[in-house]
Amino acid sequence: MGRGFKEFITKGNLLQLAIAFVMGVAFSAMVGSFVSDLIMPIIGKLVGNVDFANLYVVLSGEVYESAAAAREAGAAAIYYGAFINTVITFLIVGLVMYLLVRAFARLEKPAPEAAPTTKECPYCRSTIAIAASRCPYCTAELETV
């Protein structure tokens, strides 16, 4: 079991997966900050000076000065502003991933076409091997390529 685990852990695919995971976490933190610190204040300003992070509804009816104060007090509340931030973050991450995949797809070279291995007999239209000098179906002599 020890040797099998060592082979598994040292394979390139696992290392690539670990690097991709770490990069994904860093990318997610960066996009989260981008949305909450840059995008949402602009959107909030455009819709009338609204701070989305501070939008919540306390289910018990109590009043708190902010969403942070409600969280600290342990109030049962629906923090829909935080959800809006998360949805916008998700949409931006999805858009960036789409654009990256599309860009890499354009860079990929199409696979070369495989050389043909068969040809058609000009007399009986049967499919035969490309190197055949006589058709096995109609026995006609063929030009070799």
Q: Tens digit of pLDDT for each residue in 109-122?
A: 777 888 889 999 99
The pTM assigned to this predicted structure is: 0.55
> What is residue 134's DSSP assignment?
B
**Which tokens belong to 122?**
């000009």
Name the strand (E) or helix (H) holding 119: strand 118-120
Q: Which residues face 58 on adjacent strands?
A: 77
Distance from C-alpha of 77 to C-alpha of 86, rounded to nearest angstrom: 17
pLDDT digits (tens, 9 = 90+) for 11-57: 667 778 888 899 888 988 888 888 888 888 888 888 888 878 888 89
Ordered structural domains, the chain, with CATH: 2-108 (1.10.1200.120), 113-145 (no CATH)
